[in-house]
Structure formats: structure tokens, C-alpha cells
């Protein structure tokens, strides 16, 4: 799982550099912020103990603060402060959990060890497991973000520069889900068994809420931001279901969402550079002047809503099939989110690209150049490749999903 997410991070960082305009690429501070962000995210995915995980988890905030606060939009100050307050608030709980786990480790082993090997051999009591699960999971869920901890995300996406939005949606949201899979479930499984239904309910609420609110948006970037809340709800539903198929689907969907959301934010950035507006009503008939752009946006939209043959279908189908055996009613409601996703993406596409050109500025738009094509085409290739050959990516995650599902089964049987 770490291997996959490290690869995803490297791909998105490289392509985000290709997607930025010359004024950003010449800024040393901008380039340095992205590289530091890459370093911090890699640190999270490579951590072997709770302390380094916490340090790198916090280090992510520093470059994102500068990317949003310096190179963001008009309301960047408000969005940046809100982002920092929410994520630091969640990190407080992770820090408390880390200290608490260290105290328990020292009391049992005589050594202040927080590495994952030591933690796996510690016998946590039921109360300790539940308390630690709540502490760590709450901090991770702020980063996912799970409803109702999501309100920082739309503002952060709208105000962040294009490269920041690509990495925020493509990588940073996955850090929270990764923490739950890497720490919360394997080490504090009794707490997971106790509280997973609550998280599942909130996940389904987030799926429907994010999709419904996305339909009502007039800003295309905010629409995609709310769609991320809905898609990450599917990931969390798969994680809480706890069986092999749903866990595989959740991890695959983490990668899929990184590719599709990264591509969508990149494409919105290309359009904003030409028109300096993101209001859907300011467009119409764009496919006449930008046919390549319209075709790529439609392809990416199909991948996002889960068209069979593309990557989004694989992850969502596995999550829904795997979750149905655990949460029949919740899974049935979550499936309606797929219908809502088709509504908000295709309706937005219709208003932006189809029809006649009614606004003069849209008649002078220039189609994608070679740099922009080079930035987005690798993501399209990966969407298609995973859609038609999902067993390739499944091979990377099968052992992780089997291990987690076996632990869940063991504790579920013991508790029953």
C-alpha cells in the first residue's frame, strides 16, 4: 500500500510541475514548497513508528500553508487559517494518542518504544484499545475529511493554486485513510470493531451530502472539491466494512481518486488561466474552440463517475460489493451516490462545453498546448490501464488487505 501511494505521490508531483504556468515555475519558493510537501508525504508513507508518523504528518502543513497563503486566491488568508486550525486540532488527538501509547508500551516492556513491531506485540486492554482508536482515528478523519469534519476542504481547494489543489486532492486526503489502515485498525482493533458502524454511517452521509451539494455549485472547482468528499466517503465505507474485497476496493479507490481528482483540478486550472473565472455560467460551447480539452475533460469525468472500463468503476464496485455483506442498508444508500455523481459531472459538462458560444470571450479560447497535453495524458493512460487491468494494481495491495481483514475477523470472532 505504501509502495502504491509513494508512486502516486511522485507521479502527481512531477505532473503538477508540468501543469503550472511560467510565473509559478520561476518562483523558487513555489518549487521548494512542493518539494518539501513531497518529502513530508513520503515520510508519512515510509514511517515505521508513531513518532516519525506524527512528525511527518505535521510537516505536511508547513508547505501547504505557504502554497495556499502566498500563491492562493483572493480569500487565501481565510482558507489557509481554516485549514491550519482544523488539521492542527485533529493532530492534537494524534499527539495525545502517541504519548498514551508510549506510556502503555513503557509500562509493559520497560522501554519507551513506539515502533510498529513493538506495538503489535503489546496487549492493550479493551478500554485502552477503544480510547487509542478514538484518538488516532479522529485526527486522521479530519484529514480524510469525513463528514462533518469536511468544511475546510472546499475553501482550501478553491483558494489553492492549481498544483496545490492537485496534491491536496490527489495525495493529502489519502494520508488520513492511510493512517487508519496503517495504525488505527491493526493496533487498536477492538476500538475499530466497537465504533466502525458510526464511521460507516458518517461515510454514507458524506457520500450523499457531498454529491448533493456538488450539484448545487456554481463554481466548477468547488464542485470537484465536494465530489472529493463524496468519493472519500466510499473509501471510508470500504475500510469500515472490514472484509477483503471492500478493503481492496478502498485502497484501489484511494489511488483512483488521486488520479481522477488530480486530472480534474489540473484541467480546471488550464481553463482558469485562459478565462480567469470558474463560474459555470460564464462558459458554454467551449468544445467548439477547445475540442481536445473537451474530449479529455469528458474522459476524466467518465472515470470519476465510475464508467465501466475506467478506473473509478473498479474501486467503487469492489467497495459496494464488499460492503454489502456487512452493511446492506448503508451500501444500498451509498450506491445512490454513483447516480448523483453522474448528475453533477455530466450536468456541469453540458453547461460548460455544449451548445453555442454565447459569451464573446469563449470564442477566443486556445486549445491545450504540448506542455499541458504532456501533463494530463499520463493520468488518462493510468485511468484506462487500471480500468481494464485492475489485477495489476491489486497485486500490490492483496497482502495488506488480507492481513487487515484477518485481524478484523479474529477480533470479531473473539468478541462475539
Mark 334-367 as b/e (b = at least 16 C-beta within 10 Å).
bbebbebbbebbeebbebbbeeebeeeebeebee
Q: What's the rounded Cα separation, in Å, for the pair 330 and 327? A: 5
State yes or no: pLDDT of 359 exceeds 50.
yes
List the grid coordinates of 33. Answer: 514548497
> How large is the average pLDDT for residues 211-220?
92
Of 348, 229, 330, the C-alpha closest to 283 is 348
State yes or no: pLDDT of 122 exceeds 90.
no
Which has the higher per-residue pLDDT, 156 or 21? 156
- 234 contacts 200 by C-beta, under 8 angstroms: no
Residue 394: band (very low, low, confident or very high) from pLDDT cuts 50, 70, 90: confident
The pLDDT of residue 416? 42
Which has the higher per-residue pLDDT, 280 or 113? 280
- Secondary element (H or E) of residue 371: helix 370-388
Written as one string, the DSSP assignment of 117-164 is HHHHT----HHHHHHHHHHHHHHHHHHTTPTTS-THHHHHHHHS-HHH
The pLDDT of residue 356? 86
Q: Which residues contact 390 (CB under 8 A, 6 or more apart)?
A: 252, 311, 314
State yes or no: pLDDT of 400 exceeds 90.
no
State yes or no: pLDDT of 29 exceeds 80.
yes
**What SS3 state is found at 169?**
helix
- Other beta carbons within 10 angstroms of residue 389's beta carbon come to 11
For residue 182, what is the DSSP state?
Answer: I
Residue 23: band (very low, low, confident or very high) from pLDDT cuts 50, 70, 90: low
pTM score, two decimals? 0.90
Please compute, for residue 15, the number of CA atoms within 13 A of its CA located in the half-sphere on the CB side: 30
Phi, psi for residue 279 in degrees, rounded to 5 = -70, 125
Which has the higher per-residue pLDDT, 362 or 216? 216
- 334 contacts 233 by C-beta, under 8 angstroms: yes
List the grid coordinates of 161. Answer: 493554486
- 252 contacts 324 by C-beta, under 8 angstroms: no
* CA 147 to chain centroid: 14
Gyration radius (Cα) of the chain, Å? 21
List the grid coordinates of 5. Answer: 501511494
Residue 28: band (very low, low, confident or very high) from pLDDT cuts 50, 70, 90: confident
Q: pLDDT tens digit string along 151-205? A: 888 888 888 888 888 998 888 888 999 999 999 998 988 899 999 999 999 999 9
The pLDDT of residue 303? 93
Residue 415: band (very low, low, confident or very high) from pLDDT cuts 50, 70, 90: very low
Residue 244: band (very low, low, confident or very high) from pLDDT cuts 50, 70, 90: confident
- 37 contacts 64 by C-beta, under 8 angstroms: yes
The pLDDT of residue 385? 93
* CA 13 to chain centroid: 15
Specify the length of the chain in residues: 416
Q: What's the rounded Cα separation, in Å, for the pair 35 and 51? A: 22
As beta bridge partners, residue 279 has: 219
The pLDDT of residue 22? 61
List the grid coordinates of 252. Answer: 484501489
List the grid coordinates of 327. Answer: 452493511
Which has the higher per-residue pLDDT, 112 or 210? 210
Amino acid at each position: 500500500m505504501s509502495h502504491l501511494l509513494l508512486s502516486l505521490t511522485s507521479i502527481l508531483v512531477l505532473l503538477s510541475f508540468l501543469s503550472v504556468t511560467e510565473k509559478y515555475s520561476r518562483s523558487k519558493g513555489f518549487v521548494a514548497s512542493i518539494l518539501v510537501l513531497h518529502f513530508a508525504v513520503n515520510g508519512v508513507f515510509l514511517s515505521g513508528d508513531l513518532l516519525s508518523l506524527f512528525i511527518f504528518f505535521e510537516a505536511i502543513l508547513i508547505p501547504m500553508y505557504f502554497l495556499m497563503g502566498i500563491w492562493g486566491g483572493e480569500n487565501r488568508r481565510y482558507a489557509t487559517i481554516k485549514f491550519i486550525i482544523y488539521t492542527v486540532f485533529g493532530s492534537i488527538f494524534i499527539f495525545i494518542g502517541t504519548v498514551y501509547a508510549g506510556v502503555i508500551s513503557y509500562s509493559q516492556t520497560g522501554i519507551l518504544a513506539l515502533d510498529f513491531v513493538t506495538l503489535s506485540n503489546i496487549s492493550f486492554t479493551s478500554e485502552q484499545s477503544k480510547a487509542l482508536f478514538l484518538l488516532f482515528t479522529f485526527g486522521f478523519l479530519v484529514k480524510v475529511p469525513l463528514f462533518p469534519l469536511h468544511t475546510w476542504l472546499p475553501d482550501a481547494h478553491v483558494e489553492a493554486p492549481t498544483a496545490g489543489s492537485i496534491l491536496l486532492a490527489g495525495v493529502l486526503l489519502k494520508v488520513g485513510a492511510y493512517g487508519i489502515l496503517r495504525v488505527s485498525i491493526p493496533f487498536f482493533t477492538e476500538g475499530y470493531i466497537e465504533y466502525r458502524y458510526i464511521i460507516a454511517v458518517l461515510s454514507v452521509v458524506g457520500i450523499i451530502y457531498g454529491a448533493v451539494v456538488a450539484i448545487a455549485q456554481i463554481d466548477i472547482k468547488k464542485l470537484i472539491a465536494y465530489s472529493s468528499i463524496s468519493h472519500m466517503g466510499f473509501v471510508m465505507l470500504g475500510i469500515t466494512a472490514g472484509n477483503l474485497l471492500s478493503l481492496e476496493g478502498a485502497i484501489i479507490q484511494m489511488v483512483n481518486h488521486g488520479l481522477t481528482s488530480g486530472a480534474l483540478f489540473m484541467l480546471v486550472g488550464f481553463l482558469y488561466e485562459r478565462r480567469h473565472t470558474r463560474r459555470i455560467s460564464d462558459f458554454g460551447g467551449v468544445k467548439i474552440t477547445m475540442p481536445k480539452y473537451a474530449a479529455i475533460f469528458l474522459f476524466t469525468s467518465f472515470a470519476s463517475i465510475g464508467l465501466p472500463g475506467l478506473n473509478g468503476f473498479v474501486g467503487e464496485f469492489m467497495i459496494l460489493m464488499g460492503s454489502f455483506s456487512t452493511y446492506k442498508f448503508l451500501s444500498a444508500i451509498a450506491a445512490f451516490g454513483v447516480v448523483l455523481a453522474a448528475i453533477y459531472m455530466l450536468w456541469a459538462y453540458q453547461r460548460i462545453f455544449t451548445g453555442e458560444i454565447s459569451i464573446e470571450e469563449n470564442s477566443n479560447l486556445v486549445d491545450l498546448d504540448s506542455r499541458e497535453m504532456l501533463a494530463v495524458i499520463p493520468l488518462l493512460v493510468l485511468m484506462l490501464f487500471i480500468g481494464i487491468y485492475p489485477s495489476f494494481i491489486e497485486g500490490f495491495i492483496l497482502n495488506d488487505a488480507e492481513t487487515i481483514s484477518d485481524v478484523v475477523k479474529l477480533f470479531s470472532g473473539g468478541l462475539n
